[in-house]
Structure 1
């Protein structure tokens, strides 16, 4: 709020505040203006109530005019005034309203009049208005504000304050006052007291409402074999208070995603999956707004694990962004990098990638990640564990040895056992239907290993024990005419 007051005092003509907490923001701004800006008046307009004036402890109706031009005309005739416009983005598509606001900007120059547009839909900002507009965030409620709401709810319902009142307030960080109070009230209705689980359930709704985020609840950790070094490192860093995140690079099907998703369950933290490909939208400005909103929700979910699978796919158009999509991909990537560097929330990022060549150099530099791990093909010991596990799961006999599956990934071993079960055949026969990537993409895997050898940390404690096998290539046969 201090920044907004500063912009008003500096005669910024248009201030855009992307929030849905209309009443809380309106009252907070009016109170701050009254306290810190001598001689200023604060007015608020919305399409139902028209213009109201702040009178110290509340709002009084001034002009019940629902015409969106009315607050602009009203503001043009004022000095030292703040005009709050609720949901005004809906009217900026009107040429008359837009022109009136642009005229007001020039006509009130020097008279300390600021129009404050309150709307979460920042993509509605017209290009004609961009140079005159500054965007300022309105912070979500603090723990102290949430604790105050909790006390009021307990008092109204004649309940004692929960012993973990501070923990409940802390869990509510990231929620609006409305969301927090509804969750507390629901808890009282269903259990007769305020419980932390209801607050966390309300926070999960934030993820479910966001099109690029997904809440993941892993059920089975037994599928993860090996990768001890990466797993131990991540668990320690994620709980140290100093961790940032890790990048898991490696061959497809080797358990990168499974490892990332399992960490949250082991640590008792929610896992929020960020789908970079879903961020991009065909409407101008929508992609940038989507990533901003998604990162806000992630911060609200803290403490949590942030999982980004195959991140290179979402950034595939970065190199040509300026010529192909008007720089949208570059701006989205820039927003994510800024968040990755500057975030203060207790979030730990785990990203996976199969193709390092598609990742920009600035994405891999030091301090972006705690470490970059390379997840190679399973060692013989890991293959033994994987084979035994999946044979047990699918109830098939283990008729192959790990050495006969050299170069196979965990996903391929699972597919082998599933195929044997489905067809009612043994593993040796099922092997004819599952072809490992190491046989079809051997050269690419070797190049990936070579790149990782000097740049990455092995995810497994044991080095691969398999000797490099010579690939067999079928001899071409000429076809006669």
Structure 2
């Protein structure tokens, strides 16, 4: 059921519908439902939840605001169950009406510990009894997951996050409202935004609800109030990003920062990404070219998959979102799945973007999950990947592909499954060069090649450690940034690669790589002599 069809549904002798909405938007949606019910059904609207002592009628004030008026006829006996009583009241109510029942779904939720069979039965009975009447019920709440016996009875819809056009329109109207309020108080109010800056501000606010955007604007106006009045200009854009970052972090979504370190090697993966960069442009979308779905990056720990994920966003010129599934796991039944669904919808609202899921096997393996949460979360992610057309590029990293559900690894789920192996010798040269330069050290190419030839089986993380340890050694000996080949070899001897310590696990992973696409070109391994290098300080 589409949100815009909710009243057509109610007017078609379907007496109960469920509407999922984010908590910040509840008041806005209740106001919209009240207006729509009056216009399309000529019906009064009533509101009830467990936090309200009685029943309230929803009214639209002269200024367009929402008003709740207690219903004096609603008198629940002290001993009566609140939920059962409201059902009885609705059943006996006389006349056209729409009842919004808020947060009822935990009592009729699938696998919910609060599930009441008496309430479930009452709802089914009420559904059939209300069909021939003009009384209607809207279940409202967040993370709604109805019991199986209600799924085919009660249509479900959700309130989507606003589009960029809706955000832009809301920003324009709400800034006008704030300007009028300031003018009434003789406070100068200036909006100094060009058309391009308004668009940038709107895009920066994507992923927020309209109510959250209103909250942000009110807070910003309060903070910017000075003796010269209030000025809204382009400096507001980074503030809304900061505000959004804080809110999304509470949902388990991190707004990733651009990669500050490039990744070395992986030429095949890099070329594959560059060829798909233009598919996210407006030109490609206008031609209805298929949007890339994403990549699975599997490989031994320390091979730079996290760094690659951050760099992918830079290569594709897209914002980066990191999805922390572990932080979304809740104690209530349906809460975890609801949190993941909400996060995926947020990514869709911000799209085009890169959505990064780090070490996805830990969240989805489900080896110790007896409640089926991991399987349901996996189902949400798979459905999202197959249905989303907004331009969300999913990057999933994995240290142990054998722990991944087979549904996620099958061909076609991602655009490609890439195997990120231990770096080849030329890649080790690039990686060492990158990390040495971070410390202001430039080693001649022939000596980089020499050390690379003698660090076989080192991962990217171990090469980073090698560079850092050598830089520290030189600093301790009062020759900062003067790292010698001897320093590197001395530090190299103190590092035992994981590929040596856990050779069997690496070999199993490399065997799996035959089912995936290589991220790097194959090269021959060589051995070079180690001579004293000439050093250059790049500072």
TM-score category (smaller protein): 0.7 to 0.9
Unaligned runs of 5+ in 1: 469-481
Structure 1 residues 208, 379: closer, same or farther in 2, change over 3 A?
Answer: same
1:11–1:113 Cα contact (<8 Å) kept: no
2:18–2:156 Cα contact (<8 Å) kept: yes
Quote the residue 1:464 is aligned against.
523
1:256–1:352 Cα contact (<8 Å) kept: yes
Quote the residue 1:274 is aligned against.
323
**How do 1:179-328 residues align onto structure 2 when only pairs under 5 Å count?**
179-187=212-220, 190=224, 192-195=231-234, 196-210=237-251, 212-218=252-258, 220-222=260-262, 224-241=263-280, 242-265=291-314, 269-317=318-366, 325-328=370-373
1:291 & 1:386 partners in 2: Cα distance? Answer: 35
CA deviations on 1:182-214 (whole Å, 9 max, x unpaired) are: 33345555371254334433332332111x333
| Count of matched residue pairs | 458
2:264–2:434 Cα contact (<8 Å) kept: no
Structure 1 residues 458, 144: closer, same or farther in 2, change over 3 A?
Answer: closer
2:162 & 2:435 partners in 1: Cα distance? Answer: 49
Which sits farther off after the overlay, 144-153 or 224-233? 144-153
1:438–1:445 Cα contact (<8 Å) kept: yes
2:259–2:307 Cα contact (<8 Å) kept: no
2:143–2:339 Cα contact (<8 Å) kept: no
Secondary structure at the residue paired with 1:273? Answer: strand
2:75 & 2:307 partners in 1: Cα distance? Answer: 55
CA deviations on 1:37-86 (whole Å, 9 max, x unpaired) are: 4x644333351673215579766736155854564344212454321123
Which sits farther off after the overlay, 102-111 or 428-437? 102-111
Unaligned runs of 5+ in 2: 77-81, 109-113, 180-188, 225-229, 281-290, 477-485, 528-539
1:48 & 1:296 partners in 2: Cα distance? Answer: 34
Please tell me the root mean square deviation across aligned C-alpha atoms, in Å: 3.7
Alignment partner of 1:426 is 2:487: yes
Return the match for 1:445 from 506, 526, 529: 506
1:378–1:464 Cα contact (<8 Å) kept: no
Return the match for 2:395 from 345, 350, 365: 350
1:410 & 1:275 partners in 2: Cα distance? Answer: 24
Quote the residue 1:63 is aligned against.
71
Secondary structure at the residue paired with 1:122? Answer: coil
CA deviations on 1:377-400 (whole Å, 9 max, x unpaired) are: 212222123234444546899796
1:172 & 1:435 partners in 2: Cα distance? Answer: 47
2:437 & 2:325 partners in 1: Cα distance? Answer: 36
> Aligned-pair distance for 1:407?
2.0
1:142 & 1:273 partners in 2: Cα distance? Answer: 21
CA deviations on 1:200-241 (whole Å, 9 max, x unpaired) are: 33332332111x33333245214x211233134324425522
Alignment partner of 1:84 is 2:97: no
Which sits farther off after the overlay, 8-17 or 334-343? 8-17
Structure 1 residues 443, 268: closer, same or farther in 2, change over 3 A?
Answer: same
Return the match for 2:87 from 65, 69, 72: 72
2:9 & 2:133 partners in 1: Cα distance? Answer: 14
What TM-score does the superposition give when structure 1 sets the normalisation length?
0.81
Return the match for 2:35 from 10, 31, 40: 31
CA deviations on 1:100-138 (whole Å, 9 max, x unpaired) are: 953644543432433212222536x67886675443202
Alignment partner of 1:150 is 2:171: yes
Quote the residue 2:461 is aligned against.
411
Structure 1 residues 260, 375: closer, same or farther in 2, change over 3 A?
Answer: same
CA deviations on 1:415-473 (whole Å, 9 max, x unpaired) are: 234445556693333334321133234444344334434x433323x4232289xxxxx
1:182 & 1:232 partners in 2: Cα distance? Answer: 44
2:472 & 2:70 partners in 1: Cα distance? Answer: 75
CA deviations on 1:256-312 (whole Å, 9 max, x unpaired) are: 211111232455543221223344444322221221122123223333221112222
